[in-house]
Structure 1
Amino acid sequence: MPLAETGFAKINLALHVRRRRPDGYHDLETLFAFCADGDELTAGPADALTLAIVGPFGEGLSAGEDNLVLRAARALQAAAGIARGAAIRLDKRLPVASGIGGGSADAAAAMRLLVRLWAIDVPDATLHAIAADLGADVPACLVSKSLRGEGKGDALDLLDDAGLAGVPVLLVNPRVAVPTGPIFQRWDGIDRGALADGDPLAAALAGRNDLEPPARALQPVIAEVVAALAAMRGVRLARMSGSGATCFALFDTAADRDEAARIVQDRFPRWWSLATLLR
């Protein structure tokens, strides 16, 4: 029977951009949180590495060697010194280019999945190095727990998530793709200050997403999504995640979240939404 793993949806509770780096990345301070739901991957033994992509957001995605899932699998093969294959199936349930992990979460899930399928013992430091080589968010997605990220997002510290685990959350995407590169290029270069230490939820409430203004300028509907979420009953925080266009709202209760989900589906039927919990 194939093994299964979830590519958990990632949200940035806050995202402070501090400066541009010489290597083309930006120095960031961010609070990562992960949802209980996401894309689903399965894998079974096979002679070769193959990838099949299905699901509501799978159409048009390349299943070739450029896919991050296969790149992660190849890198894991090389690190473990094995030539075993796997038949991987990706059920793409999350919108593409949407600021909630996407390919990074899928690559990380593939690594966790194949470590189990191949029964290999790879040091955590090696897994982190592979993840960092694949993309700035992949190391955080590999852990998929509440984290503070600095540097380009891959210098990670586990957070005390007692105040975050189980918090009801609603994700909403207006079905517009926002490519990460152009959003970072549109950042105005102003350092608006550090992300607070201490309680992560308090730090998030006091923080901001510095990529939200340029994303709104590119896709004004993002402002409409955040405003709609902020107006819902029981909302503790409404903000855009990552470079967009997915936005999220944290709620006091699951009932408040579910009422908000019904309102969004009724008023904005073309928008994608997911009612879930923080892990």
Structure 2
Amino acid sequence: MSGVTVRVPAKVNIQLAVGGARPDGFHDLANVFLAVSLYDEVTVRPAERLTITCEGAGAAKVPLDESNLAARAALLLAERHGIAPDVHIHIAKAIPVAGGMAGGSADGAGALLACDTLWGLGSSQAQLLELCAVLGSDVPFSLAGGAALGTGRGERLTPLPVGGDFHWVFAVADGGLSTPAVYGEFDRLHAGARVPAPRASEPLLDALGAGDAAALGAALVNDLQPAALSLRPSLAATLDAGLAGGALAALVSGSGPTTAFLAKSAEAAAEVAGALDASGTCLATHVATSPAPGATVL
């Protein structure tokens, strides 16, 4: 086989309930993931040694060494099977870099599936999900796609039913936000306070299952949003611009700084994107639908 290309989706957290810091530094989560139709493509080919290249928006910010989750995925899979990780990994980016949409995690999941296919290993979905959890909290969902509740630090997934398509606009900020920095700010903002154990929202799960965009919009919540706004106050203007442009609801996507806007239809999403583009409060916009499939061999 000369090469394998895998398409892998971005995610939006339609609920991100965050507990207090654990002794290991992580936080327990009730994390409702929804995969959206904004994709990276990861291609792996045989090579003399492990190398990485990247193209697309934000590519200059993507590490091209073994700190990249795609490289770590190849190394982990090769180690588990006692083979050499001699592949060239090429990442074509469409998911915002450091934007809170799990672009790095998507690349890790894509590289894992691509290498498994290239090397003819035939790993089961359960085996790949186990390796994804070793790589990072969001990597299992990037492999699985669809909709799921993530518990623990987000890596333990329970698939969720979705009753219809949802329409989104994502506004990309100028520059990224560090996920550890946002969690650190969350801890600072909650210092001395009792942080309740995270629980999934029943109204949100009901709206998701019914395909009810208005009810889903009313239930969207991200416990990291105050921390992201504290570190990047300018995001408030972006959220306001999208709501003024007709969005049903707006929130920071994950740890940010990408902001997500739920629209009632494809036509409404186009109008929201136009309003955001005209507002001058963001770098670019992307229109997408959900749910989207997980990592897929093309």
Asked if 1 retains the 8 angstrom alpha-carbon contact of 2:61 and 2:97, the reply is: no
1:162 is aligned with what amino acid? Answer: G
- Inter-partner Cα distance in structure 2 for 1:224 and 1:191: 29
Pair 182,265 (structure 1): closer, same or farther in 2 beyond 3 Å: same
Deviations along 1:4-58, whole A, 9 cap, x unmatched? 2223111101101122211110011111011112222222233433211122211
Matches within 5 A, 1:57-72: 57-72=58-73
The corresponding residue for 2:127 is 126
The corresponding residue for 1:43 is 44
Select the residue among 196, 201, 204 that pairs with 1:196. 201
The corresponding residue for 2:238 is 225
Asked if 1 retains the 8 angstrom alpha-carbon contact of 2:133 and 2:155, the reply is: yes
- In structure 1, the residue corresponding to 2:248 is in which secondary structure? strand
The corresponding residue for 2:289 is 277
1:92 aligns to 2:93 (yes or no): yes
1:206 aligns to 2:219 (yes or no): yes
- Inter-partner Cα distance in structure 2 for 1:95 and 1:105: 11
TM-score, with length taken from structure 2: 0.85
2:60 is aligned with what amino acid? Answer: E
Asked if 1 retains the 8 angstrom alpha-carbon contact of 2:167 and 2:265, the reply is: yes
Unaligned 5+ residue runs, structure 1? none
Select the residue among 228, 247, 250 that pairs with 1:215. 228
The corresponding residue for 2:276 is 264
Pair 31,167 (structure 1): closer, same or farther in 2 beyond 3 Å: same
Unaligned 5+ residue runs, structure 2? 209-214, 293-298
The corresponding residue for 2:161 is 160
Deviation at 1:79, TM superposition (A): 2.1
- In structure 2, the residue corresponding to 1:199 is in which secondary structure? helix
Deviation at 1:154, TM superposition (A): 0.8
Deviation at 1:119, TM superposition (A): 2.1
Pair 153,230 (structure 1): closer, same or farther in 2 beyond 3 Å: same
CA RMSD, 1 decimal: 2.1
Q: How many residues align?
A: 276
- Inter-partner Cα distance in structure 2 for 1:206 and 1:269: 25
- Inter-partner Cα distance in structure 2 for 1:81 and 1:50: 19
The corresponding residue for 1:248 is 260
Deviation at 1:59, TM superposition (A): 0.9
The corresponding residue for 1:176 is 175
- In structure 2, the residue corresponding to 1:63 is in which secondary structure? coil
2:183 is aligned with what amino acid? Answer: F
Deviations along 1:253-275, whole A, 9 cap, x unmatched? 11111122122222227522111
Asked if 2 retains the 8 angstrom alpha-carbon contact of 1:14 and 1:204, the reply is: no
Asked if 2 retains the 8 angstrom alpha-carbon contact of 1:49 and 1:86, the reply is: yes
Asked if 2 retains the 8 angstrom alpha-carbon contact of 1:183 and 1:214, the reply is: yes
Pair 44,158 (structure 1): closer, same or farther in 2 beyond 3 Å: same
The corresponding residue for 1:77 is 78
1:276 is aligned with what amino acid? Answer: A
Asked if 2 retains the 8 angstrom alpha-carbon contact of 1:149 and 1:156, the reply is: yes
Deviations along 1:174-218, whole A, 9 cap, x unmatched? 213111112111213333863323425356732511110111011
- Inter-partner Cα distance in structure 2 for 1:250 and 1:203: 9
Deviation at 1:118, TM superposition (A): 2.0
2:242 is aligned with what amino acid? Answer: L
Worse overlay, 189-198 or 46-55: 189-198
Pair 31,103 (structure 1): closer, same or farther in 2 beyond 3 Å: same
- Inter-partner Cα distance in structure 2 for 1:209 and 1:269: 21
The corresponding residue for 1:237 is 249
The corresponding residue for 2:296 is none
- In structure 2, the residue corresponding to 1:249 is in which secondary structure? strand
TM-score, with length taken from structure 1: 0.91
Asked if 1 retains the 8 angstrom alpha-carbon contact of 2:220 and 2:249, the reply is: no
